[in-house]
């Protein structure tokens, strides 16, 4: 793990060289582990800033969403779903063909959330990558908007992000342990999102197919997913389809690190709670990405992530929905001819020796995501 630095005269965040970073048991700190790094302040008048990873602030998100609004896209809606304890916006984006907004029309919904843990800034870059792709004129994005309603909450814990917290909210809560019974007073943003999801789940016209919560991981490399464990083997096999397809499309996504669990400590997470609430046609995942680096197939040298590297993973996540819906005959392949495999940011080969599953999922199934 290597921190990033910028200064007045060099305003772009850069990673420190790994050779200058040390991680060791320190006798001065009761043999607890300490990370330290060597750095030369080479310009007398510069102000230097250091960060654990590339920051993505609440203010940056607001500027980004305002710029999207100014484009007046008929397939993008931004609304304030609620307010945080300190009265910051909880934004909800809806990206879809406006014809899907008719209340009488049946809808296939993909729900994405990020930054429930405020220190996990890579999640915001991934989320922006997803949004940038879905609002673009790319042929795959156009087909997806015609078939799917994307609901995105890009910053679930705006107070924690604003205050610089690593894991908790303003009041010290890990919001990702309170999905079972969020308080409208203590966890207002979580309460608002849960209410919306429960409401959609009760709507017979809505098929909530995916819930994906985006996080960052401090010890693992690559991108990977966590999923739930089910009693029915066939449901577990269907749940594994999306990660397998993503592995084909994103060279930094690791299928071997993707795991399915139901440990008690995660019971209050979005992935676990919604996995129990939604029916067996909905799948819930946590998408994790390393704070630092990834390994590609056949390589032994980790590649440090950049801001664009995180956003590229987001774009590949968005594009994988097309592969998924094509596989399940929910999108007509003739609508996308010539635009599919040649346009991914990754390669079409499988990675780390993992090949995509070819099992089909029933066409009337919903799908969801997980939580860390």
C-alpha closest to that of 95 among 158, 13, 30, 151 = 151
C-alpha closest to that of 276 among 156, 190, 180, 191 = 180
* Residue keyed to tokens 């790319």: 138
Token pair of 248 as six digits: 């084909």
SS3 per-residue string spanning 204-243: CCEEEEEEEEECCECCCCCEEEEECCCCCHHHHHHHCHHH
CA 115 – CA 190 distance, rounded (Å) = 11
Contact 238, 365 (CB under 8 A): yes
Burial of residue 13 (number of CB atoms within 10 Å: 0-12, 13-18, 19+): middle
Burial 21-40 (b: 16+ CB within 10 A, else e): beeeeeeeeeeeeeeebeee
* Residue keyed to tokens 């609508």: 335
Burial 273-304 (b: 16+ CB within 10 A, else e): bbbebbeebbbbbbbbbbbbbbbbeeeeeebe
The SS3 assignment for 315 reads helix
222 Ramachandran zone, left/alpha/beta (phi>0; psi -120 to 50): left
CA angle (288 as vertex; 60, 188 as ends), nearest 5: 55
Contact 191, 235 (CB under 8 A): no
CA 219 – CA 229 distance, rounded (Å) = 23
- Which residues are catalytic, by number? 288
CA 181 – CA 255 distance, rounded (Å) = 32
Q: What residues does 78 pair with on adjacent strands?
A: 93
């Amino acid at each position: 793990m290597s921190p990033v630095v910028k200064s007045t005269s060099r305003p772009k965040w850069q990673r420190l060289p790994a050779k200058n970073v040390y991680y060791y048991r320190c006798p001065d700190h009761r043999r607890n582990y300490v990370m330290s790094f060597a750095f030369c302040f080479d310009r007398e008048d510069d102000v230097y800033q250091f960060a654990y990873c590339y920051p993505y602030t609440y203010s940056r998100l607001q500027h980004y969403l305002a710029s999207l609004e100014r484009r007046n896209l008929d397939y993008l809606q931004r609304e304030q779903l609620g307010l945080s304890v300190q009265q910051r916006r909880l934004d909800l984006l809806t990206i879809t063909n406006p014809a899907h907004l008719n209340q009488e029309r049946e809808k296939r919904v993909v729900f994405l959330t990020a930054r429930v843990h405020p220190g996990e800034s890579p999640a915001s870059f991934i989320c922006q990558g997803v949004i940038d792709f879905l609002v673009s004129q790319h042929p795959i994005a156009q087909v997806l908007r015609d078939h799917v309603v994307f609901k995105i909450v890009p910053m679930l814990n705006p107070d924690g992000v604003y205050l610089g917290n690593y894991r908790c909210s303003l009041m010290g809560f890990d919001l990702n342990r309170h999905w079972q019974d969020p308080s409208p007073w203590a966890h207002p943003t979580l309460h608002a999102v849960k209410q919306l999801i429960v409401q959609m789940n009760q709507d017979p016209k809505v098929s909530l197919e995916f819930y994906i919560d985006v996080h960052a991981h401090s010890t693992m490399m690559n991108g990977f997913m966590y999923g739930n464990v089910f009693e029915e083997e066939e449901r577990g096999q269907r749940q594994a389809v999306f990660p397998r397809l993503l592995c084909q499309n994103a060279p930094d996504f690791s299928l071997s690190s993707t795991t399915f669990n139901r440990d008690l400590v995660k019971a209050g997470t979005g992935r676990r709670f919604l996995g129990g609430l939604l029916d067996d046609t909905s799948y819930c995942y946590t998408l994790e990405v390393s704070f630092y680096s990834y390994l590609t197939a056949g390589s032994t040298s980790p590649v440090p992530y950049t801001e664009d590297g995180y956003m590229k993973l987001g774009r590949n996540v968005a594009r994988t929905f097309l592969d998924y819906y094509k596989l399940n005959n929910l999108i007509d392949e003739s609508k996308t001819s010539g635009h599919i495999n040649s346009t991914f940011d990754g390669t079409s080969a499988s990675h780390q020796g993992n090949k995509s599953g070819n099992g089909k999922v029933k066409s009337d199934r919903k799908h969801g995501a997980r939580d860390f």
